[in-house]
Every structure is written in structure tokens, then in C-alpha cells.
Amino acid sequence: MSRRALKTPSRFNMFLGLFPTLLIFSFVFVFPLFFSIRLSFFDWKGGSSLNFVGLKNFLTLFSDKNFWNSFKNTFSITVLVVIGQVGLGLIISVLLVTKYIRWRGVHRTLIFLPVVLSPVVVGLVWGIIYNKRNGLLDLFLSSLGMSNIPLWLDDPNLVLYTVSVPVIWQFIGLYMIMFLGALESIPKSILESAELDGTNGYQRTVKIMLPMIYPTFKAAMMICVSGTLKIFDQIYVLTEGGPGQRSMTMSLFNYRVSFNMMRFSYGASMSIIMIIITLAITGITIKMLGGRRYE
Amino acid sequence: MNSSRTLPAAAAAVEPQKPLRSSSRVTRWIINTLVFLFSLSCIFPLIWMLSTSFKSSVEFQKSIIRLPESINFDNYIKIMTHAKFFRYFSNSFIISVITLATVLVLATVTGYFLSRFSFKGRNFIYVLLMLGLVVPTHAWLLPLFLQFREIGLLDRRITLVFPYVTFALPTAIFLIESFVRGIPEEMEESATMEGCGVWQSLFRIIMPLCKPILSTVLVLTFNASWNEFPFGLVLINRDALKTVPVALTMFTGAYTTDYPSLVSALIISIIPVILFYGLFSRKIMEGMTAGAVKG
């Protein structure tokens, strides 16, 4: 607790300082949320007729196969992406702090580089990589002597994996840097005394380093889960949800319903459910991880 | 990771420079190769794009991987002149700069007030900002669109500044708030004794001290608004006001067969973020992972 020796500013100054932030936050964040909630209880397609329909939109939504399909896809992509991003990010960061590795700084800089790019750009680049006639991946695989190369983005059984790969690839660097920060803050003395006690590198990693960065792991999981549940840009660019609905995600489906089909009130109720689902899954993830405590 | 430390601790201390056993040499080689390959995969698409952007369409059809016969900027000239890409570029730039200036001022004031003073509603503001961090922003596309349409705020130059500022504020405020916490209150106390008001203390004393964190906020906010896609897609319809990521997705339709032109557009679009990354890579990494490392 910091002591508050400073004199609190006058009410007027307080108001002057906080009002602009609260105003824009209410205007863009709070008000649209309540607008959505209200709209979801009505039937409205943009015209002048606005009929109260109670929970009808939500009931329609709960029996909408396409929505549940988009939820399942989003969930699958999130599982894949969490394993890929947090898992590989953790492995690479552990490798980078071993004494074996060379050019540490170069690796850090290069692996983090895709993080700063726009997901749209990454999606378009991977679109070229996956491309049938001019694709880098096909060229690479056929030069290895592989025939029978699948249609990466048009194969319904493959598409969830192929759209996840660019997402994983782009953000591994973010998680790597998070874990590196935590690993490097472990006091050297702890590792040295463990080394003197005769532990090997594997033991030091699993028994000492990983438990010590557990809080960071939790935060990384939270960021990764909540971030991937809203995935939109890459899917829009790569497949537009296809083939069929096989890679349709919640955000993209919401966009289609709202802006292509102009079903505004239905879209609004979907927005509400999306917020609830995302907060719930993120909350459950934290809860599940919170059970184990290391000190 | 295998380790060579099977010797008793004392012996190891006497002979720290002992040559690596062959098994650890192999481990070292494997780890270095793996990490090197991954780093290469992060930079290779960019190098390939750069090389492709100098090729003519005919050259590209002959081989997608061979280096260009000569460096010619025809594709870039075509994109910047015929494809009106310069306009999209300046649209994105203007919006990002306005967003940036607004966020810097609002976040500094709010972050300062939150960290220094206790007042009614302080916790409410915290909860609101925290919510802004974790909710799926895509659920705001539809209500914000409808709200902006109602008040005639669609298709304006200022339109995108509203969501960009709002969704950049929570991170910016939290970063500044925790930085100000680390500045001793004596700094302002002495100023107050000399008769400085709260605004003078903030802008004359605190803000200059905050330079490191402000530059972090600057790069993060610029990056986020430069790369943002869904709001740009939904809230702007007039071609003259479109931003770079939206324009890029339209390009794929028009230039499907002309990959070198598309790739040149991608290269132009990432120049600002790559430039920032080259100059401030440390700051970007710190800023993006700040919340997580603290746990």
C-alpha cells in the first residue's frame, strides 16, 4: 500500500482528468454493449418495425446448427493454437536459455518478427504458401519427391489444421519472449546450487524452472485462449470459412449474419453469446490452472 | 537435454573447462539446428516476398523461387500509382497518428490519476478497463456499426479513431499506471510546495520521467491501429477512406494472377511496422509481454 501524501486534486480537476477517457469508453464500449443486449430481445432488420420477441433470438441461436458448427471450429482451432503457441513458445524459450545455443539475440529478434505484422498480411502470405499452382509448400514437398499433395485449404478434413498453422507460426514469438522474461528472472543462485546438488539439465528444467514460471504460464494461457477465441482476420483472408462451413469461426459467422444477411437483432444476440462464451472459457481455463500452486 | 555433469561437484569445480563429451556435442548441434531452422522459417517468407517483388509476372511464372534477374521497381510503381495504394497508405497513417496522439494524452492523465489518487469509482474504472482487455472485440462490430450509422459517424476520416483509441486505452493506461507507481511521490511533493498545480506536476515533472513507457505505448498503439482489420472493414465503405489491411484483401481479387504486384503491396504495407521493429524491438517485446511477466 503506498501512502497517499499527495493532496487529492479538486473535484473539477478530477473530472477534467477522467471525463474524456470515461466518455470515449462509454461511447464505444459500454453503450454498444447495452444496445446489443436490448436489440437481442427484439426483431429488427434495420427498418422502422421493431417487435419485442423475448428470448426468441436466443432460442433460434441455440438450435442453429451453423452457429454450433462455428463454435466447434473455433474451439478446435483454439485447442490447436494454444498447444502450438504456448507449447512451442515454451520449448523454444527453454532451449534458448540453455548454454548450448548460439546467436541468442538473433533468434529472439527473428522469431518475434511475425508478431508485429498484420494478421491480414500473414494470412495473405500463407495463402501464397498454400497456393496450388504457385505455392511454396507444394514446390518444397514435390522437390522432396512427394506426389499426392493435398489441397491444403480446400480439404474439409485438413482445413482446421491448415488455418491454425499460420496463427501458431505468427505468435510463437510472443509467448517465447514472455517465457524468456520469466526464465531469465530466476535467480542464478538457485540453478547453481541445484547444479552443485548433482541435478542434470533435464531435472533442473522440469523440477525447478518450469514450476517457477508457472504464473507466467497461466497468464500466457489466458492471453492465448481469449485471443484465439475471437479469431477472424486470418480465416477471412485464407478461406472465408470454407470449404462449406468447415473453417467458419464464431466471429466470422457473426460478421456474415450481421453484415451479409443483415439480420441485425439475431447478430446482436450472437454477439452477447460470444462475449459470454469467451469469458466463460477463459475463466474456466484460469480456474483449471489455478488449482496447482507452486511457491 | 542431456548433461555431462556426472562428476562429483568438487571435481567439476576444479575442472570447469573440461571438453564437451560427444553426446553433449550432438545435443548442442541438434538444438542449434532446430532453433536455427525455426528462426529461418520466420524470416524466409519475408525474404521470398522481397525477392518476388522485383520480378515481372512472366519471370515469376517461370520459377517462383529463383532470384530476380534484375532489381526493378515496376511492381512498386504500379501499386503506388495505378492501384491508388498511396491513398490507403496515407489513410492508415493519418488514422494511426491521430489515434496515437489521443491515446498518449488520455492514457497519461488517466494512468497518473489512477496510480496517485484514491477517489470514488476508482475500482469501477479498473474493472471497466480490465473488461476492455479480455472481451472479444468482434462482438462490438455490429452494435458500433448500427450506433455510428444512427448518428452519421460512418465513413468519416475520424470514424476508426473511436474504436482504435478505445481498445488501445486499457493496455496503455495499465502500462503507464504501473510505471508511475515506481516514481517516488517526493518528485511532485516538492513541486506542490513550490505552488505547482496537479496539471503542472503531471506535465512538467511526471510526463518527462515517463518517456520510456510512453515510447512503448507509442509503438504498441501505432502497431495495433496500423494492423487493425475488422473495424476498418465494417465501419468504412468509401474507397477513398479505406485502410491498408482492408485494401490488401481487395487486392487479392483484382490481382489473383499477378502475385509479384500483390507481394509488392504487402511489402509496402509492412514497411512502417518493420521500421519501428528495427528501431524499438526491445520496447515492443517489453510492452507486449509486460502484463504477463508480472503474473
DSSP string of A22-67, one letter each residue: HHHHIIIIIHHHHHHHHHTTEE-SSSS--EE-TTHHHHHHHT-HHH
- Residues from chain B that touch A294, judged by Cβ atoms under 8 A, are none
Q: B276 vs chain A: nearest CA distance in angstroms?
A: 9
Together in a domain, B140 and B176: yes
- What's the pLDDT at B224? 93
| Site from A8, A116, A281 to mutate, B interface, most B CB atoms within 10 angstroms | A116
Q: Does A13 contact chain B (CB < 8 Å)?
A: yes
Is the Cβ of A112 closer than 8 Å to some Cβ of chain B?
yes
Residues of A in contact with B230 (CB under 8 A): 232-233, 251, 255
User: Do both B24 and B157 map to the same domain?
Assistant: no
How far is it, in rounded angstroms, from Cα B208 to Cα B187? 12
Phi, psi of A51 (to 5 degrees): -110, 135
- With the C-alpha atoms ordered A227, A228, A232, A233, is the resulting torsion angle positive or negative? positive
So what's the pLDDT on residue B190?
77
A259 has a chain B CB within 8 A of its CB: yes
Q: Is A19 on the interface with B (CB under 8 A)?
A: no
Please report the pLDDT score of residue B12 as a whole number. Answer: 38
pTM: 0.89
Cα separation of B241 and B248, whole Å? 14
Higher pLDDT, A174 or B119: A174
How far is C-alpha B214 from the chain's CA centre?
Answer: 14
Cβ-defined contact of B185 to A28 (cutoff 8 Å)? no
Q: Could B136 and A120 be called an inter-chain contact, meaning their C-beta atoms sit closer than 8 Å?
A: no
CB contact under 8 A, B38 and A92: yes
- A contacts of B166 (beta carbons < 8 Å): 24-25, 27-29
Q: In the structure grid, which three cell numbers stand for residue B103, read together?
A: 491515446
Task: Please name every residue paired with A52 in a beta bridge, in sequence order, or none if there are none.
Answer: A42
In this predicted structure, what is the pLDDT of residue B271? 93
Identify whether residues B42 and B141 lie together within a single domain.
no
From the list A4, A9, A116, the residue facing B277 with the nearest CB is: A116
Which residue in the set A4, A7, A125 is minimally distant from B118, CB to CB? Answer: A4
Q: Which of B36, B230, B285 sits opposite A232 (nearest CB)?
A: B230
User: pLDDT value at position B255?
Assistant: 63
CB of B198 within 8 A of CB of A9?
Answer: yes
Set of chain A residues whose Cβ sits within 8 Å of the Cβ of B207: none
Q: Which of A8, A233, A278 sits opposite B135 (nearest CB)?
A: A278
Split into its structural domains, chain B has a count of 2
Q: Domain holding B267: CATH number?
A: 1.10.3720.10
Which residues on B lie below 8 Å from A173 (Cβ)?
Answer: 42
Task: Please tell me the predicted confidence (pLDDT) of residue B78.
Answer: 86
**B117:A14 CB<8 A:** yes
Q: Of A6, A169, A205, which is closest to B189 when you measure between CB atoms?
A: A6
Residue B19 has pLDDT above 60, yes or no: no
Cβ atoms < 10 Å from Cβ of A205: 18
- Name the residue of chain A whose CA is nearest to B61's CA: A134
pLDDT band at B43 (very low <50, low <70, confident <90, very high): very high
Q: How confident is the model at residue B294 (pLDDT cuts 50, 70, 90)?
A: very low
Is A279 at the interface with chain B, CB within 8 A? yes
The partner residue sitting opposite B137, judged by closest CB among A17, A128, A230, is A230
A107 min Cα distance to partner chain B (Å): 6
Give the angle A244-A246-A247 at the CA atoms, nearest 5°: 115
Residue B103 has pLDDT above 80, yes or no: yes
A174 touches chain B (CB under 8 A): yes
Residues B167 and B21 in one domain: no
Residue B62 within any structural domain of the chain? no
C-alpha cell at B210: 515517463
CATH superfamily of A52-290: MetI-like (1.10.3720.10)
Q: Are residues B48 and B80 in the same domain?
A: no
Among all residues of chain B, which has the CA nearest to that of A11? B119
Task: Answer yes or no: is pLDDT of B90 > 90.
Answer: yes
| B246, A271 contact by CB (below 8 A) | no
What number of C-beta contacts closer than 8 Å exist between A and B? 284
CB contact under 8 A, B140 and A32: yes
Taking residues B205-210, what's their average pLDDT? Answer: 90
Contacts of B270 in chain A (CB under 8 A): 117-118, 121
Residues B84 and B34 in one domain: no
Q: Is residue A185 less than 8 Å (CB to CB) from chain B?
A: yes
Name chain B contacts of A45, Cβ cutoff 8 Å: none
| pLDDT band for position B20 (cuts 50, 70, 90) | low
- Residues B243, B138: one domain? yes
By C-alpha distance, the chain A residue nearest B223 is A116
> Average pLDDT, whole number, for chain B?
85
State whether B127 and B215 are in the same domain.
yes
Range of the domain at B39: 9-53
Task: Establish whether this prediction's ipTM goes over 0.95.
Answer: no
Could you report the per-residue pLDDT of B211-255, keeping only the tens digit for each? 989 999 999 999 999 999 999 999 999 999 999 999 999 887 666
Domain boundary among B53, B68, B88: B53
CB-CB neighbors (< 8 A) of B262 in chain A: 124, 128
DSSP alpha helix (H) spans, chain A: 11-25, 31-39, 56-62, 65-82, 88-97, 104-112, 119-130, 136-143, 159-184, 188-196, 201-203, 210-212, 214-228, 233-238, 250-255, 264-290
Chain B CB contacts of A109 below 8 Å: 281
| 8 A C-beta contact, residue B273 and residue B227 | yes
Query: Would you say B260 and B168 are in contact if contact means Cβ atoms under 8 Å apart?
Result: no
Please give the pLDDT value at position A175: 94
Q: How far apart are CA B39 and CA A275, in angstroms?
A: 36
Task: Kindly determine whether residue A198 and residue B5, on different chains, have CB atoms separated by under 8 Å.
Answer: yes
How big, in percent rounded to 5, are the helix, strand and coil portions of chain A? 70, 0, 30
Other residues' Cβ atoms within 10 Å of the Cβ of residue B88: 25
- Return the domain boundaries, chain A: 52-290
Which chain A residues are Cβ-neighbours of B273 within 8 angstroms? 116-118
> How would residue B1 be classed by pLDDT, with cut points 50, 70 and 90?
very low
Q: With bands split at pLDDT 50, 70 and 90, how would you rate the model's confidence at B15?
A: very low
Rounded average pLDDT per 10-residue block, chain A, 295 residues: 62 88 95 94 79 89 95 97 96 87 89 94 92 81 81 89 96 93 87 82 83 90 93 94 91 95 92 95 90 47
Q: pLDDT for B158-170, tens place per residue?
A: 999 999 999 999 9
Contact A92 B35 (CB under 8 A): yes
pLDDT of residue B4: 40
User: Is position B234 within any domain?
Assistant: yes
Number of Cβ within a 10 Å radius of residue A282: 21
